[in-house]
Amino acid sequence: MLAFNTEVAHSRAFVGSADIDYKVHGLEDLRLHLSLGADVSKGRQAQNKSTASPSAMYYGSVGGESILKRNLSLNAYAQYYKDFNDNHHFDIMGGYEWQHFWKSTNSDYVGRYPMTNDDPTLAGTERPHTPYQYKTDSYLVSFLGRANYILMNRYYLTATVRDDGTSRFKDHWAWFPSVALAWKAKEENFLKDISWISDLKLRLGWGMTGQQAGEKINNYNWIPTYSVSTGTNGFYPLIGNGTLYRPDNYTPDLKWETTTTYNIGVDFGIMDQRLTASIDAYYRKTEDLLNYAPLASMAGYRNQAWQNIGSLENKGIEFALDWKPIVNNDLIWTINYNLTYNKNEITDLSGVSDSGAPVANTDIKVGQGSGFYLQYNQVGYPANSFYVYQQVYDPQGNPIENAVVDRDGDGKITENDKYLYKNAAPDVTMGLSSRLEYKNWDFGFSLRASLGNYVYDGINAGWSNMNPGEVWSNSLNYLSNRPVDAVARNWQTYEITAKASDYWVRNASFLKCDNITLGYSFSNLFKNGSYRGLNGRVYGTVSNVFTISNYDGIDPEINNGFDNNLYPRPISFIIGLNLNF
């Protein structure tokens, strides 16, 4: 099967940066800084699919694409430090940031007519095609300021403000301020003499940040654009080989997504900081959520567009613990642990749903054509909850083929019988790392856990029909693989309602060992006379060591919650040597 599909890819990248730091002569409290950065990459991929390849549906194809990316950045700021006696410390900074993101894509794939084509003179020959070219760029510019004030080394005030501008929105600019207060209680007289308490700090913060949906969003959503089709791709036979211009939907009033965060926290340390801990409680409200959401019918050629659809709340607690149970001349043992609990809820969808009905997340669709959207959003529920039918089971607890609950009681199964059930986001995440240093040796590992994250098992759901006509393809002459569970169930009339059942939404909680490292450090190697020799470290690392989970799929860690053709993460082994001359 691999011989039917040949792909060769090459890539090159350049990443560079330069920094200039200058202290003004005669005004040593003033510092000027300039940073320049460039990230340029170019990739090429060639592909050749045989006419016998099932993935090419027996047409076959040959072609390739090239992608050139260029990201440039500039960061300039002035920083002023000043102390007035021992009680007042000021740190004031003002700066400017500029970023340019540019991308060019060129591709050309040539398909072939099937060998069984009605016109034998065309059989196996190239089909008409049009090369694809696409260029896009965007800018992100920021003016920022920050002021820190410390009073008597115990009272802290930090205020920041950003004026961010993006080319992705018509209203380019938005202000994002923040304020943070802290009280270092350990410096107060009533705690200074308590030796076993080495640190105690209380923190309070409020701030706003802006988001523009990262790389997912198109750069020109607020500008009227047209899709152009030429030749037979115009979809309208009456125009023959002409050109068809179709208007795209756009959102002229698209604006920044804004998150406002309130947090309160405590930092605590004892035994000369051998044991430190911090705990934070936070509340985040995100307004003007950016999402690629459905539009009213006939609004344009496409029925979706990027919109500011509503609001979302996140509430949670973060806890971190650092402990050094053993510290002596030969042995140091360090343990780090962290835990996060988070609950999110949609609070408003007035941008896309005045009736309060659930709204599809169109990022994920199961199946083609008459398939279904897997996740929906509705006020009062977590974001991107699975929207599924309720499965019916027999007395032994086995799922019954094509049997789901008629939740609205109207005597038939429709979309109205679906309900929101679970979501991909975990309730709790945890991390544990440990490092043991004995003389010149060091050993460490890191573990990570996710609890309460659910996954739609698209592999089992999509390949559970054991009907012979589905397992064997007469037209393509190949046998489809089936999961072991599908053979045991032996479902023969697998319908779309069965695919959209909550039976396939599985708990994917997991514990992972991300890495284990063993190293040995040495010094003064090959020392001779005035030559001090070499210092360095030799080490071995194993990454993605193991995963413990009740989920039966290849990997339970799936951020969007849809397990479908996931490429497995490999176990990697690294042997390294660091040398200092």
Query: In the chain, where are the structural domains located?
Result: 1-153, 164-325
Residue 149 CA to residue 143 CA, distance in Å, equals: 21
> Is residue 496 within a helix (H) or strand (E), and if so which, with residue range?
helix 496-499
In this prediction, residue 218 carries a pLDDT of 83
Residue 289 CA to residue 309 CA, distance in Å, equals: 5
Residue 385 CA to residue 422 CA, distance in Å, equals: 6
In this prediction, residue 498 carries a pLDDT of 83
Q: How confident is the model at residue 389 (pLDDT cuts 50, 70, 90)?
A: very high
Give the least confident one: 354-358, 384-388, 402-406, 443-447.
354-358
Q: How confident is the model at residue 477 (pLDDT cuts 50, 70, 90)?
A: low
Share of the chain above pLDDT 90, in %: 60
In this prediction, residue 333 carries a pLDDT of 98
Residue 486 has pLDDT above 80, yes or no: no
In this prediction, residue 352 carries a pLDDT of 78
Residue 352 CA to residue 307 CA, distance in Å, equals: 8
pLDDT tens digits along 405-417: 999 999 999 999 9
Residue 45 has pLDDT above 80, yes or no: yes
For every residue of 296-307, DSSP letters joined together read -TTSSSSSEEEE
Asked whether 549 and 508 are in contact (CB, 8 A), the reply is yes
For every residue of 444-470, DSSP letters joined together read EEEEEEEES-EEEEHHHHHT-B--HHH
In this prediction, residue 319 carries a pLDDT of 98
Residue 317 has pLDDT above 80, yes or no: yes
Diameter over CA atoms, the chain? 96
More confident residue, 420 or 113: 420
pLDDT tens digits along 99-133: 999 999 999 888 777 666 667 777 767 777 778 88
The tokens of 318 are what? 């973060």
The tokens of 388 are what? 């599924």
Give the Å distances, CA to CA, from 127 to 111, 112, 114, 122, 234: 5, 5, 10, 9, 16
Q: How confident is the model at residue 394 (pLDDT cuts 50, 70, 90)?
A: very high
Q: How confident is the model at residue 256 (pLDDT cuts 50, 70, 90)?
A: very high
In this prediction, residue 555 carries a pLDDT of 94
Strand partners, 446: 433, 515
CB count, 10 Å around CB of 311?
A: 19
In this prediction, residue 115 carries a pLDDT of 63
CB count, 10 Å around CB of 475?
A: 8
Residue 97 has pLDDT above 90, yes or no: yes
Phi and psi at 498, nearest 5°, equal: -70, -35
In this prediction, residue 360 carries a pLDDT of 83
Strand partners, 44: 10, 66
In this prediction, residue 362 carries a pLDDT of 75
Residue 69 has pLDDT above 90, yes or no: yes
The DSSP bridge pattern shows strands 372-377 and 359-366 to be antiparallel
Write the CB contacts of 329 (distance below 8 Å, at least 6 apart in sequence). none
In this prediction, residue 550 carries a pLDDT of 96
Name the burial class of residue 383, with classes exposed (0-12), middle (13-18) and buried (19+) by CB atoms within 10 angstroms of its CB: buried
CA atoms within 13 A on the CB side of 152: 9
In this prediction, residue 240 carries a pLDDT of 53
Residue 533 CA to residue 47 CA, distance in Å, equals: 51
Q: How confident is the model at residue 148 (pLDDT cuts 50, 70, 90)?
A: very high
In this prediction, residue 231 carries a pLDDT of 55
Q: What is the mean pLDDT of residues 398-410?
A: 91
In this prediction, residue 50 carries a pLDDT of 72
Q: What is the mean pLDDT of residues 392-398?
A: 92
With tokens 């694809």, the residue in question is: 132
Give the least confident one: 153-167, 185-199, 222-236, 303-317.
222-236
Residue 168 has pLDDT above 80, yes or no: yes
For every residue of 416-442, DSSP letters joined together read GG-EEEEESS-SEEEEEEEEEEETTEE
Residue 375 CA to residue 346 CA, distance in Å, equals: 13
The tokens of 64 are what? 């390739």
In this prediction, residue 302 carries a pLDDT of 65
In this prediction, residue 540 carries a pLDDT of 98
In this prediction, residue 548 carries a pLDDT of 98
Strand spans (E) along 288-380? 290-294, 304-308, 311-327, 331-348, 359-366, 372-377
The DSSP output letter for 58 is: T
pLDDT tens digits along 523-545: 887 777 777 778 899 999 999 99
Residue 304 CA to residue 359 CA, distance in Å, equals: 12
Asked whether 257 and 213 are in contact (CB, 8 A), the reply is yes
Alpha carbon 233 to its chain centroid, in Å, reads 35
In this prediction, residue 200 carries a pLDDT of 97
Strand spans (E) along 152-289? 155-166, 173-184, 197-211, 226-230, 243-247, 257-270, 275-287
Q: What is the mean pLDDT of residues 426-446?
A: 97
More confident residue, 493 or 368: 493
Amino acid at 226: Y
Residue 241 has pLDDT above 70, yes or no: no
Residue 379 CA to residue 310 CA, distance in Å, equals: 9
Residue 299 has pLDDT above 60, yes or no: no
Share of the chain above pLDDT 70, in %: 90
Write the CB contacts of 361 (distance below 8 Å, at least 6 apart in sequence). 291, 373, 374, 375, 376, 377, 384
With tokens 């926290």, the residue in question is: 265
In this prediction, residue 356 carries a pLDDT of 72
Mean predicted lDDT score pLDDT of the chain: 88
Residue 235 has pLDDT above 60, yes or no: no
Give rounded-to-5 percent helix, strand, coil for the chain: 10, 60, 35
Give the least confident one: 9-13, 312-316, 512-516.
9-13
